[in-house]
Each structure stands twice: as structure tokens, then as C-alpha cells.
Structure 1
Amino acid sequence: MELNPGQHGIKLREIVFIRHGTTAWNLEKRYLGHTDIGLLPDAERELALLRESISAITWDALYCSDLLRCRQTMQRIAPVQAGQAQLDPRLREIDFGQWEGQTYGQLKDNPHYRDWIDAPQDVTPPGGEPWQTFTARIDSFLTDCLLSASREAYSGENMVPAIAVVTHGGVIRYAVSRLIPELGFWDTLVIPGQAIKVRLEKSKNSWVSNRVSFP
């Protein structure tokens, strides 16, 4: 994917990718894609540190997966601005199909599952989402919302626009690998409730991206 800014784009922007808080299936290490379950009852406590770390930020744009666990996370970490968030189904986790809710232990002897582990780009879970469909919708989001937006798309509160994206682990891994090409999909470790910041800087006709410390 070419990281080409629009003709009227601004020269710097910072994106904070935030993984939703912990769910029961996360604790049980079950595959969780499109199944729409909420956070654990102690989510307020779990997300308190993250909420404090971003409390002074006025977000120029907020994007959020439309699934419940992400919407609940947004409400807890940015209660004042949560109502301004744009819900986008392109930010959903990959759909694991018939493997939703199952664990590695339940699937490890399934040859189809073993093939998928070895080559997810070539093998699709039964009834699930092909890798190419998953990546295409994230590429579409990155282009439309992060790489092509002009200054008018943001509130103008900050000299460098601050953008929050509340989404899922697989989405963050893929997005970071596309924005920072030297990073592979598995090179980014992202745990529930964690924030990862990427700075984009316009250089001639393309965006140069790098991960920076957060907060």
C-alpha cells in the first residue's frame, strides 16, 4: 500500500491505536473475532491507568470498532469525547468463523487449523473471513481515515493532529505493519487495554511512519 497523502494533507499526525480491554474469552484464550461480547466487570479498574494517561489529550478525531468491547473501552477511557467517535465496522477483528470461541487446545489436532496457523494468508477458517478480505478493509480504513484526510477533517485543537483508534489486537498488528513496513505482523505485541502511538510525517509524496513512546 502506497502511503501517499492527499494534495492538501497536513505534514504531521499522530495515531494512538488502543486495544480494547479484557473480555472473558481473552482470559480463557478463546478465539474472539466478530462475536459481540463485552468487557469484564472490572474494566473500569483495568483501564484507569490508560484513561489517566490520555486525560489531557483533546482528540482531533476518534475512530472505534463498532463491536461492544471497543465501544465500552472508548466510553471508559475518553468519556467526554466518546460521543464524537466514528464507529467503523472496518475496524473489527478478523472473523474466525466456526473457530470462534474455541481454544488452541480444542483445535490443535485439526489439520485445517494447523494449515491456517502455518499460512493464514492462504487458508481460511471454515465459515470465516479470508485474510485478503480482512486486510483489504483495514487498508481501506487507513487510506480513507488516516492517510488521506485533510486538515478540515480534524478539529484543529492541536498543532499535530491527535487521532485515537480503538480496535482489536489483530487489526493493530496489521495496521502497524502497513504503516511501518520494516515491522512484520507478529513484531508488535499488543495486550488488552494497551496504547501504541505511531507518528506519520509527510516526506515529499509519501508518509514516513515510526512508532514513538506513549504517552
Structure 2
Amino acid sequence: MEVEHEHCGTEIREIVFIRHGTTSWNVEKRYLGHTDIGLLPDAEREMAPLRESISAITWDVLYCSDLLRCRQTMERIAPAQAEQAQLDPRLREIDFGQWEGLTYDELKDNPHYRDWIDAPQDVTPPGGEPWQAFAARIDTFLKECLLSASPARYFGKNPAPAIAVVTHGGVIRYAISRLIPELGFWDTQVIPGQAIKVRLEKSENSWVSSRVSFP
């Protein structure tokens, strides 16, 4: 995804996408979109390795889905800066509608569900969010907050602005597929509590993205 950069500013940005920690529905393999449940009781232990790996980073800006599981993750991995996080509903997972809380085994005999599995961009769960709406809100976030943001948005503590985005698995997969066009949606595997770093480098009037190892 190459977006024209309309402001003068930093030539390089480093974005760390962080998937929220584990919930009970993740363990039970239930579809979890907009349903607002929190992390498991042992979240502090689960998030400890990630918290340690990023403890030396002073984030220039932090974005976070407004859902509870992401806010709790932010509080555990960056407690000193969590209050500075900008909560953004555009970073929510896709809404699975009437399929929220259900499992594959509970849905596998439903023809509508089978159609959705085969073509999620063309089929919408009953009462759920169309793929086009999901994609549009994330595209808007990427352009406004990561690619076309004014340098004044950043605190300026790092040579290359360090940006954290605490969000959901589907959002991370989609965002990386847009930032790195050679990667498809399913090419990025992200487990709860995992972080993936993407480096953005300005080339003339557009940004070129690459995934780098993390931490």
C-alpha cells in the first residue's frame, strides 16, 4: 500500500503491531469480534515476556482498539505509557454478528457459513460487518494515523518514530497485507500476545514497507 505523504517529516517509521492476550473465547476457538470480554486471569504472566522485550522502548505514539481485551493488554505491556494510548474503534476486530461466540463445529453445517468461509469478501455473517466496511475503516486508520500523519503527532524521542498498535488478529493480518502488498491476508500468522514490526521508509512521495524481526 503506497500512500502519498503530504507532510514534511520523518523518513522512517517503525510500527509494532501487537495482538491482545488470550481470552476464554480464544481458548474455546469461538468467533470473537466486537463482543467485549477481557483477558484470562493469568494475563499478567502471559504478557510478561512481551513486556520485558519492549521495556526499553519509549513509544512516540500508541494506538489501541477500544475493546477491553486490548486495553488490558496495553496496561500490562506498557504500564508507564498506557494512559497516553489513543483508543480507536477503527482498530476493532470484524463483527461476526450472529456468529459471535460460536465455534466452527457449531457452524460447519450452515450453508451461509460455508459460503462465507469460501468467499469472506463477498458474503457477510447475518447481522455482521461486511468485509468492505471492515477494510475501509482499517485503510482509513492506516492512511490517517500511520502514513499521512503530521510529525507533530509524534513525541520525537526516537530517530525513527516508534509506534505501537494494540489490536486484533484479523486487523493485523489485513493491515500488513495492505502495507506489504506481496503478503496476502493469511500469510501473516499472529498469536495472542505476539508482536510484529513493520518498517516504513519514505521513497519520494510514497511509503515502502517491510517486515522486520521483533524484538
TM-score range, shorter chain: over 0.9
Residues 38 and 68 in structure 2, CA contact (< 8 A), matched pair in contact too: yes
- Alignment-mate amino acid for residue 15 of structure 2: I
- Alignment-mate amino acid for residue 196 of structure 1: I
Alpha-carbon distance, 1:3 to partner: 2.1
User: What CA distance in whole angstroms lies between the structure 2 residues aligned with 1:100 and 1:172?
Assistant: 19
User: TM-score scaled by structure 2?
Assistant: 0.99
Alpha-carbon distance, 1:4 to partner: 1.8
Counterpart for residue 195 of structure 1: 195
1:109 aligns with 2:99: no
Uncovered stretches (5+) of structure 1, i.e. residues with no partner: none
- Alignment-mate amino acid for residue 66 of structure 2: D
- Alignment-mate amino acid for residue 74 of structure 1: M
User: TM-score scaled by structure 1?
Assistant: 0.99
Alpha-carbon distance, 1:10 to partner: 1.7
User: What CA distance in whole angstroms lies between the structure 1 residues aligned with 2:36 and 2:172?
Assistant: 18
Counterpart for residue 33 of structure 2: 33
User: What CA distance in whole angstroms lies between the structure 2 residues aligned with 1:75 and 1:6?
Assistant: 33
Secondary structure of the residue aligned to 1:4 is: coil
Secondary structure of the residue aligned to 1:15 is: strand
1:214 aligns with 2:214: yes
Encode CA deviations 1:172-193: one digit per residue, 9 max, x unaligned. 0000000000000000000000
Residues 62 and 84 in structure 2, CA contact (< 8 A), matched pair in contact too: yes
Counterpart for residue 94 of structure 2: 94
- What is the aligned-residue RMSD (CA, Å)? 0.7
Aligned residues: 215
Residues 19 and 193 in structure 2, CA contact (< 8 A), matched pair in contact too: yes
1:56 aligns with 2:56: yes
Identity %: 83
Residues 2 and 179 in structure 2, CA contact (< 8 A), matched pair in contact too: no
User: What CA distance in whole angstroms lies between the structure 2 residues aligned with 1:214 and 1:121?
Assistant: 31
**Runs of 4+ displaced beyond 2 Å:** none
Alpha-carbon distance, 1:82 to partner: 0.1
User: What CA distance in whole angstroms lies between the structure 1 residues aligned with 2:157 and 2:7?
Assistant: 22
Counterpart for residue 184 of structure 1: 184
Residues 91 and 168 in structure 2, CA contact (< 8 A), matched pair in contact too: yes
Secondary structure of the residue aligned to 1:47 is: helix
